[in-house]
Amino acid sequence: MMRCYKQKKNGDRMLKGPFIDAKEIINKIEKNGHQAYYVGGCVRDLLLQRPIGDIDIATSAPPTKILEIFDHVIPVGMEHGTVIVRQKGVSYEVTTFRVEGNYSDHRHPDTVQFIDQIDKDLERRDFTINALAMNREGCIIDLFDGKADLYKKVIRTVGNGVERFYEDPLRIIRALRFSSQLGFQIETNTLTAMNQVKHQILTIAIERMTTEMSKLVQGKYVHHGFAYLQKTKIYDYLPILKKHPYIIDKISTKIKPLGSLSELFALFYMIETSISISTWVKSWKCSNKVRREASHLVDALKYYEKNGLNQWLVYQLPSEYHDGFVRLVNLVFENLSVSKTEVASYERTLPIRSKKELDIDGNDLVELFPHLNRGPWIQHKLQELEKEVVFGKLNNNRNLLKEWIKWNPPEIN
């Protein structure tokens, strides 16, 4: 008999917000004769009173049935039992109760078997705090004392740690990720098992690890995650870091929550300049967006190291990276710091936001110096002008800019 605890204290709060909307999906599945529960991270975060991320639903209905009863379904992983149901602009992952075979490709289980009871589905989940389910009335199913672990603030595997980590070594990185997000301790046996199985991390598809690392570096308690990373020497099995472990040693005591993996790579680069951003991005199989952001941040940090904070730095760095830059300055440079307010006040007073706003362009320069051939001098001159304007030394006025150029003509050798 499955125990079910009703959350009396949270009763009212529980079915507010995202849970109310998702309840329509649960109701509809139940009306069609199947079971459905809120499951995993959303139940955990509800009990912790943390902001709820995505709402995941577990159901006894096979994916074909979900396709049939809802109008807007995206069949993202039918063979694994997962579809996305879209409702009022929100996506819900609806997954059929299942048990899994081996993860021999280290991405997906080789086989999954759909089942019609939730208990075995909860048993396949990684940690007790993630193996909670809740029905539409707010009754919690807690087969592995996940609630007790939430209150004790511990991360503990469902079942035998060594077996569970062998089954899918990504769970080792996930343990670090949850300790970083929640500030929880990793329970002793789980930690021992992580140490025993950590070499298996080498077999994980890197993209899966990158997703977890990205969440890890953004965790509110990232210093917990990094302390474990250092203590367990799990970095010995991570790309690049295995050859340069001192990078982690150097930052694990002072790390603070970052905004993205790009910020982490920029930080790593500032610690070890012999490893380029490109190398980090390639080894961790990250996107070009990560590469671009990390490069921008590194350029800004290097410029800051030489010149300090000024209009030109703020102008050159796209606004969406300003917060990341502030975080990194405070981490990278001892005894130096900048604040978001300082950066914002420079930004507010910038006379122009981009080169396009300059009241003069390349054609004007060609007209001013008809005897010169087109060439790199045009870009150089425009950048000189841009700097003068950004620093407020010159007004962004066509005539004044032309006048300035006459007095500062291009030097062509």
Binding status of residue 142 toward ligand ATP by CB under 6 A: no
Contacting range for Mg ion; rule: CB under 5 A; set: 34-42, 320-328, 359-367, 383-391: 34-42
74-133 positions binding ligand ATP, by CB under 6 A: 125-126, 130-131
Write down the least CB distance from residue 110 to ligand ATP, Å.
14
Establish whether 125 is an annotated binding residue. yes
**Nearer Cβ to ligand ATP (125/223):** 125
- N residues, the chain: 413
| Closest among 263, 243, 176 to 212, alpha carbons compared | 176
Write down the least CB distance from residue 94 to Mg ion, Å.
13
- From 18, 40, 63, 161, residue interacting with ligand ATP (rule: CB under 6 A): 40
Q: Which two tokens stand for residue 208?
A: 């899966």
Write down the least CB distance from residue 40 to Mg ion, Å.
6
Phi-psi region of 322 (alpha: psi -120 to 50; beta: other; left: phi over 0): alpha
If you search the block for the tokens 């989940």, which residue do you land on? 125
- Residue pair 128/146 in contact (Cβ under 8 Å)? The answer is yes
What single-letter DSSP state applies at residue 127? B
- Residue pair 73/85 in contact (Cβ under 8 Å)? The answer is yes
138 binds, among Mg ion, ligand ATP, none (CB under 5 to 8 A by kind): none
Write down the least CB distance from residue 323 to ligand ATP, Å.
21
**Nearer Cβ to Mg ion (178/284):** 178
For residue 85, how far is the Cα from the chain centroid? 23
Q: How many CB atoms lie within 10 A of CB 253?
A: 10
Establish whether 56 is an annotated binding residue. yes
Binding status of residue 18 toward Mg ion by CB under 5 A: no
For residue 372, how far is the Cα from the chain centroid? 51
Print the binding letters for residues 202-221 with ligand ATP: x by CB under 6 A, - otherwise.
-------------x------
145-204 positions binding ligand ATP, by CB under 6 A: 168, 170-171
Alpha-carbon dihedral sign for residues 301, 305, 310, 312: negative
Establish whether 171 is an annotated binding residue. yes
- Alpha carbons within 13 angstroms on the beta-carbon side of residue 275 total 21
- Contacting positions for ligand ATP (CB under 6 A): 40-41, 53-54, 56, 125-126, 130-131, 168, 170-171, 215
- Contacting positions for Mg ion (CB under 5 A): 41, 54
